[in-house]
Amino acid sequence: MREQFIIRPDNNYSGLDEYIDSIGAEKAMIVLDRFAPALKIYPHLKKLKAQTVEFTDFSPNPDYDSVKKGTQIFLSEKCGCIIAIGGGSSMDVAKCIKLFAVLEQDRELLEQPLKDSAIPLIAMPTTAGSGSEATRYAVIYRRGEKQSVTHESCIPDAVIFDPSVLETLPLYQKKSCMLDALCHGIESMWSVNSDDESREYSKSVILTIMENYKAYISGDETASEKMLEAANKAGKAINITQTTAGHAMSYKLTKLYNIAHGHAAALCLYGLLDFTADHIEKCVDKRGVAYFESVLSDIARCMGCTSIKQTSERFYQLLNELELFTPERFSNADIETLSRTVNTTRLKNNPIALTTRDIEGIYRKILCSEENI
């Protein structure tokens, strides 16, 4: 993966001005979510040497029409670069505008082959979690249907790391986003698509989060900066490997019980770690069981453990410590629904073969635990 240029908030974000000047952009489109005006960077955006055009007309689940409108504004205003500030929605909108800007505007944009637009994209994540600022993936909705947009060139060229954006995040969001990054690190580490580069990212992610999560939760600025960097590396890892069964199992859990994505992903990964510890013989990674066992040992070491079984127990303790509990309301019908709606495509990346019955058993372990995590 190409190296991203890192911009720090030093000297009133002067690095952002310098970067925009270096790419020769005279006007920038700034894609902002509704929380952006409260950020410390916001007043400085008004003082950039380049002219700016703000685009805020999109929802948390951005739709195609909003993205098309943003693309038309980008083109009509003759912008030279895009700055995305916010969570995943801002990133998705900005990535799509970058890709769509070089397509034929009088045709259906989603039906045209994507290509590199060479439009510089700068991203400023306002949570330490998804790592969207480092991936080639975006999601928008067309007539209520989820549309995945993927192209290597929509990975942002530069990233602004500003730990102050994490100061006012609700505690639950800080915890769940952090766990999303941790799940990305572990899932990428054991993915059948992993390689040397992705594993190095993953190791760094797991070690950084486990070493800094307490300080981060308590509001330490240095730890917050490390969390932003860990989430970015988690995004880089997932950009190579994609997610595995933990994420595939988490989406319906999020909707069914109205819990955050990272919370749901962590619950599922706990169940998978426990299942994997008892079923290593079900390994489907072409590199073999011995290789897979070495990966599990690496994950355990990064988590401060000596075995994958102990890692599962440590993960359980972490969820308890963070007070991220299992939903109290569940039924057999819920478990059947959850098992039936798992995205099987993501299961192909998983290193352990999972049957529907296995998945159902993992959900039962998550939801029916006597200790009620």
Token pair, residue 146, equals 């989820």
Confidence of residue 370 (pLDDT cuts 50, 70, 90): very low
Confidence of residue 72 (pLDDT cuts 50, 70, 90): very high
d(CA 206, CA 202): 6
Q: What is the mean pLDDT of the chain?
A: 94
Residue 283 has pLDDT above 50, yes or no: yes
Q: Are residues 192 and 333 in the same domain?
A: yes
d(CA 55, CA 71): 10
Overall size of the chain counted in residues? 373
Please tell me the predicted confidence (pLDDT) of residue 244: 96
Q: Are residues 201 and 54 in the same domain?
A: no
Are the C-beta atoms of residues 292 and 199 closer than 8 Å to each other?
A: no
Beta bridge partners of 82: 29, 121
Listed in sequence order, the residues at least 6 apart from 260 whose beta carbon sits closer than 8 Å to its beta carbon are 172, 173, 176, 177, 254
Please tell me the predicted confidence (pLDDT) of residue 373: 38
Q: Are residues 209 and 252 in the same domain?
A: yes
User: How distant, in Å, are the alpha carbons of 37, 54, 99, 121, 351 from that of 253?
Assistant: 32, 35, 32, 33, 22
Q: What is the DSSP letter of 149?
A: E
**Computed from CA positions of residues 344, 346, 349, 352, in that sequence, does the dihedral angle turn out positive or negative?**
negative
Q: What is the DSSP letter of 82?
A: E
Q: Which one of 165, 193, 219 terminates a domain?
A: 165
Residue 371 has pLDDT above 70, yes or no: no
Q: Which one of 132, 165, 198 terminates a domain?
A: 165
Token pair, residue 104, equals 């034929």
108 within a domain of the structure (yes/no): yes
Q: What global pTM score does this model have?
A: 0.94
Residue 289 has pLDDT above 80, yes or no: yes
Q: Are residues 37 and 25 in the same domain?
A: yes
In three-state secondary structure terms, 20 is helix
Strand pairing report for 27-32 and 51-55 = parallel
Are the C-beta atoms of residues 230 and 163 closer than 8 Å to each other?
A: no
d(CA 266, CA 323): 12
Number of domains into which the chain is organized: 2
d(CA 293, CA 129): 27
Please tell me the predicted confidence (pLDDT) of residue 1: 63
Q: Which one of 165, 185, 218 terminates a domain?
A: 165
Please tell me the predicted confidence (pLDDT) of residue 2: 73
Phi then psi for residue 186, to 5 deg, are -70, -45
